[in-house]
Amino acid sequence: IVITVTESHPIVSSNVFHYRHSVRFSVIDVISEVNCTTIEEEEICRQEFGVEQITVHPDYDKDSINKQHDIAIVKLAEDVTFGKYVKPICLPFDELVAELPIEDEEFTVTGWGQTEKEILSRFQLHVEINGKSNELCNEVFGVANVTLTENHLCVGGDAGRDSCKGDSGGPLLRLVATNWYQVGVVSFGAKRCGSEGFPGIYTNVAKYLDWISDVVNENHCHNMEE
């Protein structure tokens, strides 16, 4: 499943798309050159879209240890057609959702990153991980001079359950009632993924909603003028 915020605006990490010229949707196997895959008698075909514009947060500093403002918006060259395997995701504009507790709550992270075999996965995987306090992450990563702010989320830390290299820019999801929300973006973590006691660090999407709205609305208005 690929999630987007609108028909043409996925949200990713700032360091993911510097050299990316297209985006693929409905990818089942990233190695296979076959465009369509049949699963349970249903044909699923990948879709590829050109990238028209990448907007990195203006305050992002790739050399910063804390990876503050690690978020970007990708504008696709054409609208995506939503279907069973490509759907829009909710953002936490509802204050009741944005202010829900993080610690000890369950989240889901997805991606094609490294597995326990230290190789990238051919297939998109997901794992459930539990929220932690930013204070805990500050204690754990303090030796590396990392200091989290309200712009970060601290999630994970259970052995063998983590995002990893290759997952950067992927979504951290939260199920509220019957709706899925993208509450985070995979940013960084411990050198050895899935280590007990070492959570992952995620960009807190709720803190960037005004910026996201400004970027998306600016692009929309520009298209209307054309």
Indicate whether 96 pLDDT > 90: yes
Active site residue 21: no
| % of the chain at pLDDT higher than 70 | 85
**Residue 41: partners with Cβ closer than 8 Å, 6 or more residues away:** none
Q: Is 9 among the residues known to form the active site?
A: yes
Which residues of the chain form CATH 2.40.10.10? 2-89+208-225, 95-206
According to CATH, the superfamily of the domain at 2-89+208-225 is: Trypsin-like serine proteases (2.40.10.10)
Specify the pLDDT at position 10.
Answer: 60
43 Cβ neighbours under 8 A, 6+ residues apart? 36, 37
Q: Which of 13, 14, 168, 187 is catalytic?
A: 168
Which is the catalytic residue, given 8, 9, 26, 163? 9
Q: What is the pTM of this model?
A: 0.85
152 is catalytic: no
Residues 6 or more apart whose Cβ sits within 8 Å of residue 138: 146, 147, 148
- Confidence at residue 2, expressed as pLDDT on a 0 to 100 scale: 40
Query: What digits encode the pLDDT tens for the residues 202-222?
Result: 999 999 999 999 999 886 555
Active-site residue, selected from the candidate residues 8, 70, 152, 162: 70
Q: Domain 95-206 falls in which CATH fold?
A: Thrombin, subunit H (2.40.10)
With cut-offs at 50, 70 and 90, classify the pLDDT of residue 3: very low
Per-residue pLDDT, averaged over 81-104, amounts to 92
